[in-house]
Amino acid sequence: MIVWLASYPRSGNTFIRLLLHHFFDVATHDLYMPNIAMPDPEERGNIVNLVGYRPYSSIAELDEKRNAAFVKTHELPDDDRPAIYVIRDGRDSITSYAHFILTVEEKCSKDDYDLRFDKTIRKLVTDDERFGGWGKHVCTWTGRPAPTTVVHYSQLQKRPIEVLQRALSHLCLDITVKKKRSRGNFVRFQDLHRLSPELFRKGKSGSFVDEMPNDVEEMFWERYGEVTGKFGYRRRNLVDRLKKFWRKGPRLRPPIVE
């Protein structure tokens, strides 16, 4: 039985997979990489091993499994399979996604990074080219009649095991914690950042404040204000928007490692 691990890009999908693997001893699959060459299982620094990835030959194969087969996806839903949907403040998701597009997909150089970042983040806010756009993605997944439990990225950061365990219980999945949280088995964000700074960039809520231009945030709120407010994300007031100009340092810090 497939259980979707769904999210708009850069919303915490990988974090869910890390938790499932390290504390629940559960493997996960990836809709975009069904069957890749597996690294040495002892190679702890490999992202494939960190998320407990398992290859598969087809979706039909996973559907036939008796136990839950967790599969990462960013696509819009088109079936009635159960799902855990991870939601993050759209301003954070879009800001992080813009960086991901430039650093990972397009391999952008430092020379024109700021200009291309500005164009990319505006396009992510104003059009639906990628996965339907943030608002449609959230509304479609959270409004589907199929069994779907919604997990907030900010809550995962504060109480990861408790929040994920509650989500699993909501889907009637009898999966319990196999390992207690300790320094030895907990994957710290700073370690992940050193491993892959493009994939694990900041990992905190509210990072858009320093990087999303004020007019882009206004555009975001005009388009997605209703759904943003529905899930508890607040609009910044004038004082909040002015704070970025009081901070020292450049507005953008391209996460490119030479």
CB 248 within 8 A of CB 159: no
pLDDT above 70: percentage of residues in the chain: 77
**Residue whose token pair is 């109480």:** 159
Kindly report the three-state secondary structure assignment for every residue of the chain: CEEEEEECCCCCHHHHHHHHHHHHCCCEEECCCCCCCCCCCCCCCCHHHHCCECCCCCHHHHHCCCCCEEEEECCCCCCCCCEEEEECCHHHHHHHHHHHHHHHHCCCCCCCHHHHHHHHHHHHHHCCCCCCCHHHHHHHHHCCCCCEEEEEHHHHHHCHHHHHHHHHHHCCCCCCCCCCCCCCCCCCHHHHHHHCCCCCCCCCCCHHHHCCCHHHHHHHHHHHHHHHHHCCCCCCCHHHHHHHHHCCCCCCCCCCCC
- Relative to beta strand 2-7, strand 69-73 is parallel
Provide the CA 69 distance to its chain's centre, in angstroms: 19
> What is d(CA 18, CA 253) in angstroms, rounded to the nearest whole number?
26
Which of 104, 88, 71, 50 lies closest to 3 in space, CA to CA? 71
What type of residue is 195? L
The reported pTM is: 0.83
pLDDT tens, 241-255?
555 544 544 444 333
Of 51 and 152, the structure prediction assigns the larger pLDDT to 152
pLDDT tens, 21-71?
889 999 999 999 887 766 565 555 567 777 888 889 999 999 999 899 999
How much is the pLDDT for 92? 94
What type of residue is 104? V
Res. 79: pLDDT tops 70: yes
How much is the pLDDT for 183? 45
List, in order of start, the domains of the chain with CATH numbers. Answer: 2-246 (3.40.50.300)
